[in-house]
Amino acid sequence: MLTGEIMNARRPFLWAMAIIAATVVALTLIAAGLLVKSWQMFGSAAGQFKTGHITTTFSEDIPTIVSTHGDVLELATATSMETFTREDTTTYAWGFLPSSTTTAEIRVPVTYRYFLRLSEPWRLATRGNVCIVLAPQFQASLPPAIDTGRLEKRADSGWASFDKTATLDALEKDITRHISKRAMDSKHLDLVREHCRRSVAEFVKKWLTDKLQWPKRVNAIIVVFPDEKSFNSDDALMNYSAEPILKTKQ
């Protein structure tokens, strides 16, 4: 009789333990399933950022970026005081008299702006925690901007020259052609090159951050432009070695 009462008293306890055990098993299986699924998703996402896939992943986002921010990514500006000189020499009496020279000079601040087009081809590769970016070539926005409020003019006439105003006017009309040519010469390109490189790196870093890849998976960015080096394969780009323009502090 006593034994039956004890068994009846323990029966709810045993049922409760069975329910708890079943719950623990079920929760463990669910957690395991979620963990496997998470690893699968992580592996799939990580694969999108490996060499051979990261360019496609990046390119797929470009139309969205262009639609909201426009096709132009402004990279750098540089302002310098430019000097332009023109000389007009006139000969008299078939050279029997001294020639007369009029010299005109114009000094003016010029602002050069450099950009790239997001819709042009990009190539990206990864090596360890480094992202190597072959960006579109940066170019000058033409024509450069002139600060006419600070324009300075000067002209000196020779002994028999009376056309210094005409010489100045001709020089001023030619300034736009001159500064457009200067904007793309090696001197001006080298002046802004590293600024452009850093701006590209910041742009790619923001994209990697939005994709939850910076700084856990990628913590350094190398940027190279087409006029610096060409690459005939993704492996060649992946193996390119240079000092990162952007990296996390160690």
| Residue 6 resides in a domain | no
Q: What is the mean pLDDT of residues 29-35?
A: 45
| Residue 162 resides in a domain | no
Q: To 10 degrees, what angle do helices 186-210 and 54-69 make?
A: 100
Range of the domain at 210: 54-84+108-151+182-247
Burial profile 235-245: b = 16 or more Cβ within 10 angstroms, e = fewer:
eebbebeeeeb
| Residue 2 resides in a domain | no
| Residue 93 resides in a domain | no
Query: Which tens digits make up the pLDDT trace of 83-107?
Result: 988 776 655 444 544 455 778 888 9
Q: Domain tally for the chain?
A: 1
| Residue 126 resides in a domain | yes
Q: How confident is the model at residue 172 (pLDDT cuts 50, 70, 90)?
A: confident
Query: Which tens digits make up the pLDDT trace of 101-153?
Result: 778 888 999 999 999 999 999 999 999 999 999 999 999 999 999 998 998 98
| Residue 3 resides in a domain | no
| 0.75 exceeded by pTM | no
